[in-house]
């Protein structure tokens, strides 16, 4: 009878082992997805900040330079408005560059089957 029990447990071990492996893999996958979702949220917030500063910084620099030029060298037209607009245009192109770069990287990661940290 002990021989039969040993054979029975030996036959059952692969099934239990397989079930434990499947369960562990499922838990790891859920943890990765949860971590990926949190990274995605923070990544989105970070991108909004990056885009905002990419537009604001050149705009403020242009306005500041324009105010300085208006005070230093007064003319018939306003340097402040001109350089404010130029800074805004530069900032929008800068933001466009960063957004397309992130979009390209995101598509590349999706084509490769996920993020590099998941492997």
3-state SS string for the chain: CHHHHHHHHHHHHHHHHHHHHHHHHHHHHHHHHHHHHHHHHHHHHHHHHHHHHHHHHHHHHHHHHHHHHHHHCCCCCCHHHHHHHHHHHHHHHHHHHHHHHHHHHHHHHHHCCCCHHHC
Does a structural domain hold residue 58? Answer: yes
Does a structural domain hold residue 119? Answer: no
Does a structural domain hold residue 93? Answer: yes
Which residue segment(s) compose the domain that 76 sits in?
2-114
Does a structural domain hold residue 57? Answer: yes
What is the number of domains present in the chain?
Answer: 1
Mean pLDDT: which of 14-18, 32-36, 85-89, 102-106 is highest? Answer: 85-89
pLDDT tens-digit readout, 4-43:
555 555 455 677 667 777 777 777 777 766 656 556 666 7
Does a structural domain hold residue 42? Answer: yes
Does a structural domain hold residue 70? Answer: yes
pLDDT tens-digit readout, 51-82:
888 899 999 999 999 999 999 998 899 999 99
């Amino acid at each position: 009878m002990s021989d039969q029990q040993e054979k029975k447990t030996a036959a059952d071990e692969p099934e239990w082992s397989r079930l434990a492996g499947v369960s562990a893999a499922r838990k790891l996958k859920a943890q990765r997805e949860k971590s990926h979702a949190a990274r995605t949220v923070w990544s989105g917030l970070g991108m909004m900040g990056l885009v905002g500063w990419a537009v604001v910084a050149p705009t403020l620099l242009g306005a500041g330079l324009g105010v300085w030029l208006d005070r230093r060298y007064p003319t018939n037209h306003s340097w402040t408005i001109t350089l404010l607009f130029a800074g805004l245009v530069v900032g929008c192109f800068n933001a466009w560059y960063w957004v397309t770069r992130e979009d390209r990287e995101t598509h590349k990661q999706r084509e490769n089957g996920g993020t590099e940290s998941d492997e």
